[in-house]
Amino acid sequence: MTVASQVNQTIASLKGTRATLRVYITQSRDDETRTVFTDALNETNTIIDDLEKRLQTLEFEEPQYKGN
């Protein structure tokens, strides 16, 4: 498994986590709990964005990884 494949797999997992956090936010009744989930969602979004940028860099530097 290439580094690009591993990064892609991690991004996919984090997107699943993001979806789960969104469900938790909508189902939470307590404001404090909702805030914790929202903070986690925001951090997850930041990590996804960073990894997607890193993946673009990998694909640019190593064209053989593009689309893998």
The confidence score (pLDDT) of residue 53 equals: 96
Tell me the two tokens of residue 3: 């580094």
Q: What is the mean pLDDT of residues 35-63?
A: 93
pLDDT tens for 2-48 read 888 899 999 999 999 999 999 999 999 999 999 999 999 999 999 99
Q: Give the global pTM.
A: 0.86
Q: How confident is the model at residue 67 (pLDDT cuts 50, 70, 90)?
A: low
What pLDDT, on the 0 to 100 scale, is given for residue 66?
66
Tell me the mean pLDDT in the region 41-63.
92
How many C-beta atoms surround the C-beta of residue 37 within 10 A? Answer: 19
Q: Which two tokens stand for residue 19?
A: 């979806």
The answer to whether 68 and 11 are in contact (CB under 8 A) is no
DSSP result, 27-38: H--SHHHHHHHH
Torsion of CA 13, 19, 21, 24, to 10 degrees: -140
